[in-house]
């Protein structure tokens, strides 16, 4: 029987993690890429600290949350000798910029110069440097956040002068399709956008990360060049409530 915090649940998480890691490595090799080029960010939203601790015991160090408030207590509880890297993958409200800078190492959801400027100011005040990714809206869904691809270069240029933050790449959250293969064009497009930014500003940007792919479609994302995959339910199990 599975209990969320019991022995069976623990074994399940460890097995799931091993399985996801193996699938990432297989997808990378099949695409002629190094498995090490793909970072696994374990998405822990809605899951308790006990579940995260099991993943840490299995060697996982990169974790992602999608809400600043929910993340705060978990990050503080898990603070310890292990070097964990915390990623914010959900929308950031500008009034939470300071807290986000305090808590996170990588923020995947920057989508405007204004938000980047707020974060930059907070990071300067805290004396911290945070890695950021620009979230790109490729699906044009009302409920989703992200920058319009047509605005990307202007946003990148606007962020370039900001201190305390470092722009490292792009992120996208495509629409959900039953058939994962239908997501591929969104991943291809994100890679092409990164390549085109690099060619517009040769040698200046150093964008190296593509954050794309979730439980449902990460192998396709890896084939298309993902360097960070954000995986929750394949590791921790189904979430009991929408988030």
Residues in contact with ligand PLP by CB under 6 A are 43, 45, 66, 89-90, 173, 214-216, 230-234
Rg (CA), the chain: 18
Q: Which is nearer to ligand PLP, 16 or 112 (CB)?
A: 16
Is the Cβ of residue 16 or residue 162 nearer to ligand PLP in the bound state? 16
The single-letter DSSP state of residue 80 is S
Is 32 or 181 the residue whose CB approaches ligand PLP more closely? Answer: 181
Q: How far is the CB of 43 from ligand PLP (least distance, A)?
A: 4
Q: Which CB atom, from 201 or from 216, has the smaller least distance to ligand PLP? A: 216
| Ramachandran angles phi, psi of 228, nearest 5° | -135, 125
CB of 214 to ligand PLP, least distance (A): 4
What gap in Å lies between CA 171 and CA 214, rounded to an integer?
12
How far apart are CB 25 and ligand PLP at their closest, in Å? 18
Q: Which residue is nearest to ligand PLP (CB)?
A: 232
CB of 106 to ligand PLP, least distance (A): 12
CB atoms within 10 A of CB 124: 15
Contact between residue 57 and residue 14 where contact means Cβ atoms under 8 Å apart:
yes
Task: Tell me the CB-side half-sphere exposure of residue 20, using CA atoms within 13 A.
Answer: 30
């Amino acid at each position: 029987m599975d209990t969320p915090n019991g022995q069976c649940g623990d074994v399940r998480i460890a097995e799931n993690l091993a399985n996801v890691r193996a699938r990432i490595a297989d997808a990378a090799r099949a695409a002629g890429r190094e498995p090490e080029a793909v970072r696994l960010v374990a998405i822990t939203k809605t899951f308790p600290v006990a579940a995260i601790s099991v993943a840490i015991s299995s060697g996982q160090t990169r974790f992602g949350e999608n809400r600043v408030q929910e993340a705060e207590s978990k990050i503080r509880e898990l603070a310890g000798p292990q070097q964990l890297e915390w990623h914010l993958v959900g929308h950031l409200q500008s009034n939470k910029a300071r807290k986000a800078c305090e808590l996170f190492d990588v923020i995947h959801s920057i989508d405007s110069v204004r938000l980047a400027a707020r974060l930059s100011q907070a990071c300067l005040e805290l004396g911290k440097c945070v890695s950021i990714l620009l979230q790109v809206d490729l699906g044009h869904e009302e409920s989703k956040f992200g920058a319009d691809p047509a605005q990307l270069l202007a946003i990148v240029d606007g962020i370039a002068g900001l201190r305390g933050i470092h722009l490292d790449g792009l992120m996208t959250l495509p629409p959900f399709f039953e058939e994962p293969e239908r997501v591929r064009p969104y991943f291809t497009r994100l890679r092409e956008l990164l390549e085109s930014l690099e060619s517009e500003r040769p040698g200046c940007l150093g964008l190296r990360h593509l954050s794309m792919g979730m439980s449902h479609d990460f192998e396709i994302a890896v084939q298309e060049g993902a360097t960070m995959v954000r995986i929750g339910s394949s590791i921790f199990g189904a979430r009991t409530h929408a988030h």
